[in-house]
């Protein structure tokens, strides 16, 4: 399978390649993306249509896996998927809408199936996924409660310190540690626990990939 990965940093993308490989349980051929001038949530959302168009018309990619951090935005809920339940502040809802609208505009290409897109939201950041198996306090329900109560047992910065030893790691160090944690999650067969602890953000990504 030929898969492209899009996230907020090259470090995140390196770790996601490992996680996607673990979900698929087979090696996949990575597909390169157009060079991105900037990273982060606003940039990923802005470039997503261009990325889908590029993959469809100029590569032989079959699928795209997309993950961004939720930060302090609302966590995706099942009610969002009901009629009129969409929350415009929810990044999962937003990215799915952007992907669906863009895919609907694509012209057929001979010998090509429609690109499949898997969307995940790391709550509140991808570093939370790396804590799975290390710290049972770090879960989606815990973050939802923290947002509601405005009482936080951990923050995005503390997750970085726990994972990297600093909340401002170099890109090289961040990449090394992210890949190490992703390999641990796959090697220790913690994918199911990731889905249990992060049912919306990681669970949605998992189900989308399993449906490829």
What are the residue ranges of helices labelled H in the chain? 10-24, 41-58, 91-104, 126-130, 140-149, 156-164, 171-187, 191-197, 201-210
- Our measurement of the distance from residue 58's CA atom to the centroid of its chain's CA atoms, rounded to an integer in Å, reads 23
Q: How confident is the model at residue 30 (pLDDT cuts 50, 70, 90)?
A: confident
Evaluate whether 52 touches 105 at the Cβ level (below 8 Å).
Answer: no
Residue pair 205/67 in contact (Cβ under 8 Å)? The answer is: yes
pLDDT for position 39? 78
Residue with tokens 């952007």: 98
What per-residue confidence (pLDDT) applies to 13? Answer: 95
**92, 123 contact by CB (below 8 A):** no
Beta carbons of 207 and 151 less than 8 angstroms apart: no
pLDDT of residue 84: 62
Provide the residue ranges of all domains of the chain, joining segments of one domain with +.
2-210
- Rounded-to-integer distance, Cα 92 and Cα 86, Å: 10
Is the pTM of the predicted complex or chain greater than 0.75? yes
Over the stretch 96-134, which tens digit does the pLDDT of each residue have? 999 999 999 999 888 888 999 999 999 999 999 999 999
Q: What is the pLDDT of residue 38?
A: 64
Q: Give φ, ψ of 2 to 5 degrees.
A: -105, 115
Tell me how many helices (H) and strands (E) the chain has: 9, 4
Q: How far apart are CA 211 and CA 206, in angstroms?
A: 9
**Paired sense of beta strands 29-30 and 116-122, if any:** unpaired
pLDDT in tens, 80-91: 576 666 777 899
Confidence check: pLDDT of 40 > 90: no
Give me the half-sphere count of Cα atoms (radius 13 Å) on the Cβ side of residue 148. Answer: 7
- Report how far residue 69's alpha carbon sits from residue 71's, in angstroms, rounded to the nearest whole number: 6
């Amino acid at each position: 399978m030929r898969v492209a990965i899009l996230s907020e940093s090259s470090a995140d993308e390196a770790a996601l390649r490992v996680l996607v490989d673990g979900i698929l349980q087979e090696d996949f051929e990575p597909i390169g993306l157009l060079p991105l001038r900037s990273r982060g949530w606003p940039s990923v959302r802005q470039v997503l249509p261009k990325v889908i168009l590029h993959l469809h018309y100029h590569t032989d990619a079959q699928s795209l896996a997309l993950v961004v951090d939720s930060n302090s935005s609302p966590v995706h809920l099942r009610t969002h998927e009901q009629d009129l339940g969409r929350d415009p502040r929810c990044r999962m809802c937003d990215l799915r809408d952007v992907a669906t609208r863009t895919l609907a505009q694509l012209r057929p290409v001979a010998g090509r199936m429609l690109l499949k897109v898997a969307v995940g939201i790391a709550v509140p950041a991808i570093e939370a996924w790396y804590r799975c198996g290390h710290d049972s306090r770090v879960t989606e329900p815990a973050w939802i409660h923290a947002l509601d109560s405005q009482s936080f047992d951990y923050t995005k910065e503390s997750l970085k310190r726990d994972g990297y030893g600093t909340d401002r790691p170099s890109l090289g160090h961040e990449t090394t540690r992210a890949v190490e944690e992703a390999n641990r999650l796959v090697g220790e067969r913690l994918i199911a626990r990731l889905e249990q602890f992060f049912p919306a953000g990681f669970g949605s990504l998992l189900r989308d990939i399993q449906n490829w």
